[in-house]
């Protein structure tokens, strides 16, 4: 229902108009002045407002002006008691929909009201149409701009050149990729400085002309392949795909298309052709008998060895069944392994005796499938094994041994379905993960509670599923059944389960913890060997100058002793010279010079300096000797070693590690006999433990501490065992990690400051290579003692 607001200061007019409008089907409200009308408008909306011109307070024109500015979708009518031209003019300028002059009749008011409302509806509809049209134009403009940007990106990213050319080989447009193909920028063609025709090899122009002629006879599309010479003089193969666009009179307007660089494809085709010829030559060069057959076992192709052995030409062999040619039978052999229903693509091997050829053959038959996995035929390869039959027993024995060898290989084998539930779980997996096949079959892999790097395994499974390629997961960390850390190497392969079962997975792997340990130890050994070789070289280089420096200092010591004796005699001579008048002045001069040189000081200090220099040289010599002995090239065989001397050398070499944080106390058993061992590896054990002791003391003291800790080293001979104890006053080993300190790759040091291999290698050297024991005693906050026991015999 339309709503109308009538504003007039005469109540009779208001009631008359309101009742008339209600009878005509309108809903009406009234107001006796503009002020009251404004209040009504604050809470209600109206389709039409009828207002008197002259009212107390605000005039009708001003009120309607307010309405048209505030409520632009509301129609307005002006009511006046007289036909005032000035009022009419202002009303027209204001845009009032109608002008009613009192007195009036209801019919006239109805006409004006309906006209005003109809005009108002048209204006609102028109305005909304314009707004909608403007919105659609703006949206279409944005869409066109977006399409233009997408087209520009497409042109930029497509692996080809997009072009528009003229019949005279000039270019209207070419994408930037043209420079990658020919070496010339696109603006060189667009500007007309070069035509595409100039790059085409002359001998290929007839190909292009023929393609254009065929296109004009058809729908205008063409595909042509030809060669060009690029800016560097290289010949490239081009595939040009385009459409000829004609004018209304049938003449050519332009050509649009794309250009691909197919040089690599052409090279691949040539390589493929060469490979085909090589395959044919190889096929004939194989000494085994090879036959290619269709699904009915009719021969389609054979190699030269087959023809020569059978004694027939191709013409007599082709389209004949293999069982007729080889066995003289009219139907397939009962034990033939070639099956039409074979969908697995597996080869069949067996030994057969062919009467017609009088020999034993090792027969290999394999089905051939097309890209859709449809069986298209079979291939058989016959190898003459008549001579080998004489050694059949030896061969069977070898096969048996080989089977036992494969059975002994401990590799993980896990089969999963498409939902990654366990289908297969072999014995190696049972042993490594401590889960039986009965426990895991049918369960999801991620429900088994295996403590390994799940994110790497899941990512590999996802990649295998997405890329349809096998995925490797190397050096996968996991926790072994005994709670120790370990490593696995996995290979994940997608498996077609057939039918609706989809694609599953086959996880094959091995426990490579020991290999990782060996690799780490090898790397450590190689590094130490390199350091040892460098140290030995440095020691050798230092040794020579140290020797002649020591010899020279000893020479100076002997010479100074001689000069000191001579100086004493000179002094006696001057004492006597001073008694003679002739020599007194000269003697006094010599005495003054002696006093100025402070000869007494020199006679006192020079021997001390020489003695200190000799002591320093001897210390350098001891360090050099220790370095040479410590870095002596490793031996694989044991030799007798003085353990006390080896420990002294190790302390000398490691002095820089402990001298700032600890004092070393040694208590060596002088009666300790030589111990059979591998010197280089035992030296490394001593070095690892001493350096660890220094680090533990440093951690206990903290940064900036002035006090020092103590490293105590003792050796004893106890019941045919050499015992070495290395104690420190460090932090001690926390109870919760004591069971892991000899584990490979376990370390409590910061990243980059420890590999976790030092004590693991030491344990391996002492226990496995020397048959000894490596244990420890520790107390948190007090320190640790490592105990090495080596058999003397």
198-233 as b/e: b if 16+ CB within 10 A: ebbeeebeeebeebbeebeeeeeebebbbbbebeee
State residue 180's pLDDT score.
87
Identify whether residues 450 and 536 lie together within a single domain: no
Q: How far apart are the first and last CA of the chain?
A: 119
Confidence of residue 235 (pLDDT cuts 50, 70, 90): very high
**Whether pLDDT at 255 is above 80:** yes
**Whether pLDDT at 668 is above 90:** yes
**Residue 144 falls within a domain, yes or no?**
no
Distance from C-alpha of 437 to C-alpha of 657, rounded to nearest angstrom = 53
> 51-60, 115-124, 564-573: which has the minimum mean pLDDT?
564-573
Query: 3-state DSSP call for residue 353?
Result: strand
Average pLDDT over residues 773-785: 90
**Residue 374 falls within a domain, yes or no?**
yes
**Whether pLDDT at 634 is above 80:** no
Confidence of residue 753 (pLDDT cuts 50, 70, 90): very low
**Whether pLDDT at 256 is above 70:** yes
Confidence of residue 94 (pLDDT cuts 50, 70, 90): confident
Which position has the token pair 């099956």?
339
DSSP 765: I
pLDDT digits (tens, 9 = 90+) for 433-457: 888 888 888 888 888 878 888 888 8
- Alpha-carbon distance values, 639 to 356, 643, 646, 677, 766 (Å): 71, 12, 13, 5, 15
Identify whether residues 190 and 250 lie together within a single domain: yes
Which of the listed residues 268, 294, 316 is the one where a domain comes to its end?
268
State residue 418's pLDDT score.
85
pLDDT digits (tens, 9 = 90+) for 406-443: 344 467 888 888 888 888 888 888 877 888 888 888 88
Confidence of residue 525 (pLDDT cuts 50, 70, 90): low
State residue 172's pLDDT score.
86
State residue 408's pLDDT score.
47
Average pLDDT over residues 551-565: 67
- Most confidently modeled range among 22-31, 526-535, 555-564: 22-31
Distance from C-alpha of 146 to C-alpha of 40, rounded to nearest angstrom = 49
Q: What is the CATH number of the domain that holds 191?
A: 3.30.450.20
- Alpha-carbon distance values, 298 to 49, 287, 331 (Å): 100, 22, 12
CB 508 within 8 Å of CB 493: yes
- Alpha-carbon distance values, 697 to 526, 655, 701, 793 (Å): 29, 14, 6, 35
H/E stretch holding 168: none
**Whether pLDDT at 315 is above 70:** no
**Whether pLDDT at 317 is above 50:** yes
Which of the listed residues 377, 399, 421 is the one where a domain comes to its end?
399
Which two tokens mark 622? Answer: 């001891």
Query: 3-state DSSP call for residue 462?
Result: helix
Average pLDDT over residues 297-309: 84
CA 233 to chain centre: 39
**Residue 179 falls within a domain, yes or no?**
yes
Identify whether residues 606 and 465 lie together within a single domain: no
Confidence of residue 628 (pLDDT cuts 50, 70, 90): low
**Residue 660 falls within a domain, yes or no?**
yes
Identify whether residues 344 and 386 lie together within a single domain: yes
Identify whether residues 705 and 607 lie together within a single domain: no
Which of the listed residues 344, 372, 399 is the one where a domain comes to its end?
399
Selected residue with higher pLDDT from 546 and 492: 492
Distance from C-alpha of 493 to C-alpha of 468, rounded to nearest angstrom = 8
> 209-223, 492-506, 534-548: which has the minimum mean pLDDT?
534-548
Identify whether residues 44 and 72 lie together within a single domain: yes
Question: What DSSP string describes 471-531?
Answer: EEEEEEEEE-TTS-EEEEEEEEEEEE--GGG-EEEEEEEEE-HHHHHHHHHHHHHHHHHHH
For 97, phi then psi, to 5°, come to -75, -25
pLDDT digits (tens, 9 = 90+) for 462-503: 898 888 888 888 878 887 766 677 778 888 888 888 777 788
State residue 361's pLDDT score.
85
**Whether pLDDT at 727 is above 90:** yes
Identify whether residues 654 and 781 lie together within a single domain: yes
**Residue 152 falls within a domain, yes or no?**
no
**Whether pLDDT at 405 is above 50:** no
pLDDT digits (tens, 9 = 90+) for 158-176: 778 888 889 888 888 888 8
Q: What is the CATH number of the domain that holds 701?
A: 3.30.565.10
Which position has the token pair 């208001």?
14
How many CA atoms within 13 Å lie on the side-chain side of 518?
A: 4
Identify whether residues 645 and 622 lie together within a single domain: no
- Average model confidence (pLDDT) across the chain: 80
DSSP 651: H
CB 200 within 8 Å of CB 219: no
State residue 407's pLDDT score.
40
State residue 410's pLDDT score.
61
Identify whether residues 487 and 599 lie together within a single domain: no
Identify whether residues 197 and 259 lie together within a single domain: yes
Average pLDDT over residues 38-47: 90
Query: 3-state DSSP call for residue 25?
Result: coil
**Residue 608 falls within a domain, yes or no?**
yes
DSSP 444: B
State residue 400's pLDDT score.
61
**Whether pLDDT at 248 is above 90:** no
H/E stretch holding 366: strand 359-369
State residue 789's pLDDT score.
92
Average pLDDT over residues 634-648: 81
Identify whether residues 580 and 707 lie together within a single domain: no
**Whether pLDDT at 122 is above 70:** yes
**Whether pLDDT at 81 is above 90:** no
Identify whether residues 374 and 421 lie together within a single domain: no
Max Cα distance, the chain (Å): 171
Selected residue with higher pLDDT from 556 and 666: 666
Selected residue with higher pLDDT from 344 and 742: 742
**Whether pLDDT at 336 is above 80:** no
> 53-62, 242-251, 459-468, 595-604: which has the minimum mean pLDDT?
595-604
Which parts of 506-598 fold into alpha helices (H)?
513-577, 581-597
- Alpha-carbon distance values, 454 to 73, 447, 449 (Å): 67, 11, 10
Distance from C-alpha of 22 to C-alpha of 20, rounded to nearest angstrom = 6
**Residue 737 falls within a domain, yes or no?**
yes
**Whether pLDDT at 403 is above 50:** no
Which position has the token pair 């069986």?
375
Counting DSSP H helices and E strands in the chain, the numbers are 24, 27
Structural domain that includes position 211: 158-268
Average pLDDT over residues 53-62: 88
**Whether pLDDT at 765 is above 70:** yes
Q: Is the peptide bond before 103 cis (omega within 30 degrees of 0)?
A: yes
State residue 466's pLDDT score.
87
For 723, phi then psi, to 5°, come to -110, 125
**Residue 136 falls within a domain, yes or no?**
no
State residue 605's pLDDT score.
73
Overall number of domains in the chain: 6
CB 325 within 8 Å of CB 314: no
Query: 3-state DSSP call for residue 254?
Result: strand
């Amino acid at each position: 229902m339309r709503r109308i607001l009538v504003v007039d200061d005469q109540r009779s007019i208001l009631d008359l108009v309101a009742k008339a409008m209600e009878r005509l089907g309108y809903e009406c409200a009234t107001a006796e002045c503009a002020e009251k009308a404004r209040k009504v408008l604050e809470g209600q909306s109206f389709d039409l407002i009828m207002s008197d011109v002259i009212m107390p307070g605000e005039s009708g024109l001003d009120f309607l002006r307010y309405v048209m500015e505030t409520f632009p979708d509301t129609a307005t009518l002006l009511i006046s008691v007289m036909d005032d031209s000035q009022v009419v003019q202002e009303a027209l300028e204001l845009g009032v929909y109608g002008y009613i002059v009192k007195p009036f009749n209801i019919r006239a008011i109805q006409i004006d009201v309906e006209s005003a409302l109809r005009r108002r509806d048209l204006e609102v509809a028109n305005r909304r149409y314009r707004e909608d049209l403007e919105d659609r134009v703006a949206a279409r403009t944005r869409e066109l701009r977006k399409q233009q940007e997408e087209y520009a990106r497409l042109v930029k990213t497509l692996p080809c050149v997009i072009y528009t050319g003229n019949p005279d080989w000039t270019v209207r447009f070419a994408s930037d990729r043209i420079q990658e193909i020919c070496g010339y920028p696109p603006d060189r063609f667009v500007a007309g400085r070069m035509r595409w025709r100039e790059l085409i090899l002359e001998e290929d122009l007839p190909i292009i002309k023929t393609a254009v002629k065929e296109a004009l006879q058809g729908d205008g599309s063409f595909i042509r392949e030809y060669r060009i010479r690029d800016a560097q003089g290289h010949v490239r193969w081009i595939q040009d795909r385009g459409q000829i666009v004609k004018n209304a009179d049938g003449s050519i307007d332009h050509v649009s298309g794309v250009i691909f660089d197919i040089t690599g494809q052409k090279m691949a085709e040539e390589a493929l052709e060469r490979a085909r010829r090589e395959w044919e030559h190889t096929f004939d060069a194989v000494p085994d008998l090879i036959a290619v057959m269709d699904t009915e076992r009719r021969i389609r192709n054979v190699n030269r060895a087959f023809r020569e052995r059978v004694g027939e030409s191709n013409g007599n062999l082709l389209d004949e069944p293999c069982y007729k040619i080889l066995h003289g039978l009219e139907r397939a052999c009962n034990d033939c392994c070639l099956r039409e229903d074979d969908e697995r693509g597996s080869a069949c091997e067996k030994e057969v005796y062919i009467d017609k050829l009088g020999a034993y053959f090792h027969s290999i038959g394999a089905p051939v499938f097309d890209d859709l996995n449809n069986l298209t035929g079979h291939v058989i390869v016959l190898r003459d094994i008549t001579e080998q039959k004489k050694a059949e027993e030896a061969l069977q024995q070898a096969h048996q041994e080989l089977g036992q060898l494969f059975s002994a290989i401990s590799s993980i084998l896990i089969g999963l379905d498409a939902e990654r539930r366990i289908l297969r779980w072999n014995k190696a997996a049972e042993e490594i993960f401590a889960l039986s096949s009965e426990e895991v079959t049918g369960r999801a892999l991620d429900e088994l509670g295996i403590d390994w790097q799940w994110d790497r395994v899941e990512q590999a499974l996802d990649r295998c599923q997405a890329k349809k390629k096998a995925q490797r997961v190397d050096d996968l960390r996991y926790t072994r059944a005994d709670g120790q850390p370990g490593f696995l190497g996995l290979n994940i392969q997608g498996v077609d389960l057939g039918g609706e079962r989809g694609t599953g997975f086959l996880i094959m792997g091995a426990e490579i913890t020991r290999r990782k340990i060996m690799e780490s130890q090898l790397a450590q050994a190689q590094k130490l060997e390199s350091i040892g070789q460098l140290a030995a070289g440095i020691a050798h280089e230092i040794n020579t100058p140290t020797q002649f420096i020591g010899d020279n200092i000893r020479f100076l010591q002997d010479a100074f002793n001689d000069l000191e004796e001579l100086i004493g005699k000179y002094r006696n001579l001057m004492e006597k010279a001073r008694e003679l008048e002739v020599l007194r002045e000269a003697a006094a001069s010599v005495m003054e010079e002696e006093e100025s040189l402070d000869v007494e000081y020199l006679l006192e200090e020079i021997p001390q300096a020489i003695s200190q220099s000799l002591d320093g040289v001897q210390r350098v010599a001891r360090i050099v000797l220790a370095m040479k002995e410590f870095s002596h090239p490793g031996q694989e065989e044991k030799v007798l070693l003085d353990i006390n001397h080896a420990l002294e050398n190790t302390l000398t070499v490691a002095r820089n590690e402990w001298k700032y944080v600890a004092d070393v106390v040694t208590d060596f058993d002088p009666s300790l006999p030589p111990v059979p061992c591998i010197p280089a590896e035992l030296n490394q054990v001593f070095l690892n433990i001493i350096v660890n002791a220094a680090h533990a003391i440093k951690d206990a003291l903290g940064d900036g501490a002035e006090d020092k800790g103590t490293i105590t080293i003792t050796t004893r001979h106890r019941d045919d065992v050499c015992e070495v104890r290395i104690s420190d006053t460090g932090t001690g080993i926390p109870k919760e990690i004591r069971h892991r300190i000899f584990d490979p790759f376990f370390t409590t040091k910061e990243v980059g400051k420890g590999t976790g291999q030092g004590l693991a290698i030491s344990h391996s050297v002492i226990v496995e290579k020397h048959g000894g024991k490596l244990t420890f005693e520790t107390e948190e906050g007090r320190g640790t003692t490592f105990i090495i026991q080596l058999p003397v015999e």
